[in-house]
Amino acid sequence: MADEIEIDTGDLERRMEGAIGALKTEFASLRTGRASASMLEPIMVDAYGQKTPINQVGTVNVPEPRMVTVNVWDKGLVGKVEKAIRESGLGINPQLNGTIIMLPIPELNEQRRKELTKVAAQYAEHARVAVRNVRRDGMDQIKKAKGDGMSEDDQKFWESEVQSLTDRFIKHVDELLDGKQAEIMQV
């Protein structure tokens, strides 16, 4: 019966939450002048013939506020880990001490802070686009359901549901961006 046509907003919400999760991961990789183990998460090391996350070839620690250390388990991978960090674009100069790679986090200057806020804004825009793509998929489902006999009242109801879900997630992206930009600009 036409009354039983429903749109799976749970699936749409799960996919939008995935976009928020990806944004949080990207934000964690942005350097804010404070040491954080999560800033090394996106770095992949050429180990054992494949790309491996850095936390699977060594222990990542934050012994002090402006220092990250990586204790590499396999002595043969120390050079590869150092190279991966150097080429990651984090702007950190690794220092070797045996199998321990020390990463002193330099102070951010004003220009670098402004660049990082722009990068954060780009990450947020990617998340907004992802949320809007999920919204478009939801609207396409509603159009298809209308073709399958959904009433116009139901169509308007589901469109408003999908739109309010989208608005909520876009607002969340904006809040995360504001928080990250404030964190970056904090001296």
Is residue 58 a contact partner of residue 69, using CB atoms and an 8 Å limit? no
52 CB-near residues (< 8 Å, 6+ apart):
44, 45, 46
Buried-exposed string 11-20: b where 16+ CB fall within 10 A, e elsewhere: ebbebbeebb
CATH no. for 34-104 = 3.30.1360.40
CATH no. for 9-27+109-185 = 1.10.132.20
Average pLDDT on 4-28 reads 87
114-118, 121-125, 135-139, 151-155: least confidently modelled range: 114-118
State how far the Cα of 187 lies from the Cα of 173, in Å rounded to an integer: 24
pTM score over 0.95: no
Q: Domain extents for the chain?
A: 9-27+109-185, 34-104
SS3 185: helix
Helix (H) or strand (E) holding 21: helix 9-28
